[in-house]
C-alpha cells in the first residue's frame, strides 16, 4: 500500500508541476482553444463560465489523456495524422503531434525523433516510405493508385471552388467593404490568388510550390536543415530564435544567396500555412522517389514542431517562436499557420504590383472565404450552424482568434515583414466590439440554411471580421 501511495504522490507532484507551468502562459487565445476542445469533447454541454482557467487546463488534460489512451480511438488519432493531437492546446498534445507525424510516415526505420535525425543527416541512407493510401476520394476516383508528383500541378479544381472563383460580383462586394477606393484592383487581386492557389485534390494550394519543395534540390536541402534545427530547438529553447529567422538561416546554411533564402523561406511558410501540422501528409499521396521523400519527412517535422516549440517558449516566458519579433502580445494557439498563409498571400500580391492596402485586403478576403466555406467541429456541418450560438460560444471565440491571426498575417506580409503589431490587443478589441450580438433562433437558421448569401450576411453582421483588419491597418 505504501508503494502505491508513493507512486500516487509522485504522479500528483508531476501533474501539479505541469499544471502550474501551463497556467503561467494561459492567454485569451489558449483560453479560446481550451473552451472549444472541452466543449466538443463533453458532447457540447460544457459551460466555460463555470471553470477557472486552471480548472480548464486540468479538465482538458484529463480529457486528452483519456482519449489518447483509449484503444477504441487509436484509429482516429492515426488516420488524422498529426492533426488530432495538434488541436489540443496542451504541450503534451503538441509533442504527441510530432510523434503522430513520424508514425504516419509508415516506415519501419523511422520510429522516433532520433531515427529522423539520423535519416536527415544521411546516416541511414534513404529508406523508402510506403504509400499509405491517404488519397482524397477525388484522387482515388481519378487515379486509383498514387499518382506521380507531376499530377499535383494539374489536378482538377473542386466545382464549388471554381464557381466561387467565377463569382466576380460577390468578390467585388467583399472588396467594397474593406477597400472602397480600390474595388476593381482588390477584386482582381482576390481572383488572382484563387487562380494561382488552384485548390484541388488532397487540400493542396499553390501546387507549384509543393512541386518545387520536392524536385528543387536547394529547396529540399533547406527544408532538411530547418527540420534538424527545429528538432534541436525542442530541447534547447532559445530566447532569440523565431520561425522566420530559423527558416532563413537554414537556407543560408546550404549556400543560398540572401534573395534566394528569403524566397524559399516565404515559400516554406506558404507550405506550412497550407498544411499546418499535416504539412507532410499533403505529399504522402504522391509517388515519390526515396530521395524526394526527404521533403516529406522534413515537412512532417516542420509542420508539427512549430507549435510545440512555440508552446515551450511561451511557457518559459519567452517571445513567441511561431511569430516574428515584430509581433508582440501573447496569442498562444495551435494554429499559427493562419497567420503565415495570409502573410505569404499578401506579400506575393505586393510583389506582383498591388498596393499594400489592396494586398492585405485581398488576402483577408481569401481568409473570410475559407471561414465561410469551412466545416466546423470536425463534422460535415457548415458555418450556418454557428449562427444560433452566442458571442461567448467556444466556436465563436476560436473563429475570432483565427481571424485575428489571418488579419495580422495579411498586414504583416503586405508590409514586407516590417509591421509591428500586438495580437493580444487586436483580439481584445475584436472581442469587445462583437460581444453583444443576439444570435438567431434555430428556426431562423433553418429558414436560411439553403441561402448562402443570407448566411454570409448574418455571419458578417455577427462577427464583423473587417473590424480586426481595420484595427491592424490603423495602427501602422
Answer yes or no: is pLDDT of 3 > 80.
no
Residues 6+ apart with CB under 8 A from 260: 218, 251
* Closest C-alpha to 276, from 306, 246, 313: 306
Q: How confident is the model at residue 60 (pLDDT cuts 50, 70, 90)?
A: very high
Answer yes or no: is pLDDT of 210 > 50.
yes
For the residues of 57-69, what is the DSSP string, one character each?
Answer: HHHHHHHHHHHHT
Query: Within the chain, how many helices (H) and strands (E) appear?
Result: 23, 2
For the residues of 260-282, what is the DSSP string, one character each?
Answer: HHHHHHHHHHHHHHHHGGGTGGG
**Mean pLDDT along residues 420-426:** 93
pLDDT (tens digit per residue) in 151-177: 899 877 776 666 666 678 888 988 998
* Closest C-alpha to 399, from 27, 29, 26, 25: 29
267: Cα within 13 Å, side-chain hemisphere: 22
Q: What is the mean pLDDT of the chain?
A: 86
Q: How confident is the model at residue 384 (pLDDT cuts 50, 70, 90)?
A: confident
Answer yes or no: is pLDDT of 109 > 50.
yes
Greater confidence, 170 or 437? Answer: 437
* Closest C-alpha to 223, from 307, 302, 118, 112: 302
Q: How confident is the model at residue 20 (pLDDT cuts 50, 70, 90)?
A: very low
Which of 61-65, 140-144, 325-329, 467-471 bottoms out in mean pLDDT, i.e. has the lowest?
140-144
pTM of the model: 0.90
The predicted structure's pLDDT at residue 5: 29
pLDDT (tens digit per residue) in 230-282: 999 998 877 778 999 999 999 999 999 999 999 999 999 999 999 999 999 88
Distance CA 442, CA 460 (A): 18
| Residue pair 100/320 in contact by the 8 Å Cβ criterion | no
Q: How is the chain split into domains, by residue range?
A: 2-69, 137-474
| Residue pair 88/39 in contact by the 8 Å Cβ criterion | no
Distance CA 293, CA 127 (A): 9
Nearest-Å Rg of the Cα atoms of the chain is 22
The predicted structure's pLDDT at residue 402: 96
Amino acid at each position: 500500500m505504501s508503494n502505491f501511495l508513493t507512486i500516487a504522490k509522485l504522479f500528483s507532484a508531476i501533474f501539479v508541476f505541469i499544471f502550474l507551468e501551463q497556467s503561467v502562459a494561459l492567454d485569451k487565445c489558449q483560453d479560446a482553444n481550451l473552451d472549444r476542445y472541452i466543449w466538443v469533447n463533453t458532447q457540447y454541454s460544457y459551460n466555460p463560465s463555470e471553470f477557472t482557467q486552471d480548472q480548464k487546463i486540468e479538465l482538458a488534460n484529463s480529457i486528452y489523456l483519456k482519449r489518447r489512451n483509449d484503444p477504441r480511438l487509436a484509429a482516429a488519432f492515426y488516420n488524422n495524422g498529426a492533426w488530432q493531437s495538434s488541436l489540443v492546446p496542451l504541450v503534451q498534445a503538441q509533442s504527441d503531434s510530432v510523434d503522430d507525424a513520424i508514425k504516419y510516415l509508415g516506415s519501419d526505420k523511422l520510429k522516433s525523433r532520433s531515427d529522423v535525425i539520423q535519416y536527415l543527416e544521411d546516416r541511414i541512407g534513404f529508406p523508402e516510405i510506403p504509400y499509405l493510401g491517404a488519397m482524397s476520394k477525388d484522387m482515388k476516383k481519378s487515379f486509383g493508385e498514387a499518382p506521380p508528383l507531376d499530377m499535383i500541378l494539374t489536378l482538377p479544381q473542386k466545382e464549388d471552388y471554381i464557381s466561387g472563383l467565377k463569382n466576380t460580383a460577390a468578390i467585388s462586394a467583399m472588396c467594397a467593404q474593406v477597400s472602397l477606393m480600390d474595388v476593381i484592383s482588390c477584386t482582381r487581386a482576390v481572383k488572382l490568388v484563387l487562380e494561382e492557389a488552384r485548390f484541388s485534390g488532397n487540400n493542396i494550394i499553390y501546387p507549384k510550390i509543393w512541386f518545387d519543395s520536392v524536385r528543387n534540390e536547394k529547396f529540399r536541402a533547406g527544408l532538411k536543415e530547418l527540420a534538424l534545427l527545429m528538432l534541436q530547438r525542442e530541447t534547447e529553447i532559445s530566447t532569440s530564435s523565431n520561425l522566420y529567422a530559423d527558416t532563413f538561416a537554414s537556407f543560408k546554411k546550404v549556400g543560398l544567396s540572401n534573395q534566394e533564402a528569403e524566397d524559399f523561406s516565404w515559400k516554406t511558410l506558404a507550405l506550412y500555412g497550407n498544411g499546418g501540422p499535416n504539412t507532410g501528409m499533403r505529399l504522402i499521396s504522391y509517388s515519390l522517389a526515396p530521395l524526394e521523400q526527404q521533403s516529406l519527412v522534413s515537412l512532417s517535422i516542420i509542420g508539427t514542431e512549430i507549435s510545440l516549440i512555440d508552446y515551450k517558449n511561451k511557457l518559459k516566458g519567452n517571445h513567441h517562436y511561431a511569430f516574428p519579433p515584430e509581433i508582440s502580445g501573447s496569442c498562444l494557439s495551435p494554429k499559427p499557420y493562419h497567420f503565415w498563409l495570409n502573410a505569404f498571400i499578401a506579400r506575393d500580391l505586393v510583389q506582383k504590383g498591388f498596393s499594400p492596402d489592396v494586398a492585405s485586403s485581398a488576402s483577408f478576403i481569401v481568409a473570410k472565404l475559407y471561414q465561410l466555406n469551412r466545416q466546423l467541429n470536425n463534422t460535415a456541418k457548415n458555418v450556418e450552424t454557428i449562427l444560433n450560438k452566442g458571442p461567448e460560444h467556444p466556436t465563436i471565440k476560436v473563429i475570432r482568434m483565427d481571424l485575428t491571426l489571418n488579419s495580422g498575417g495579411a498586414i504583416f506580409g503586405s508590409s514586407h515583414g516590417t509591421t509591428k503589431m500586438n495580437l493580444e490587443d487586436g483580439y481584445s478589441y475584436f472581442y469587445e466590439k462583437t460581444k453583444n450580438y443576439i444570435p438567431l433562433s434555430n428556426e431562423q437558421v433553418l429558414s436560411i440554411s439553403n441561402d448562402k448569401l443570407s448566411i454570409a450576411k448574418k455571419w458578417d453582421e455577427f462577427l464583423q471580421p473587417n473590424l480586426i483588419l481595420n484595427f491592424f491597418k490603423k495602427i501602422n
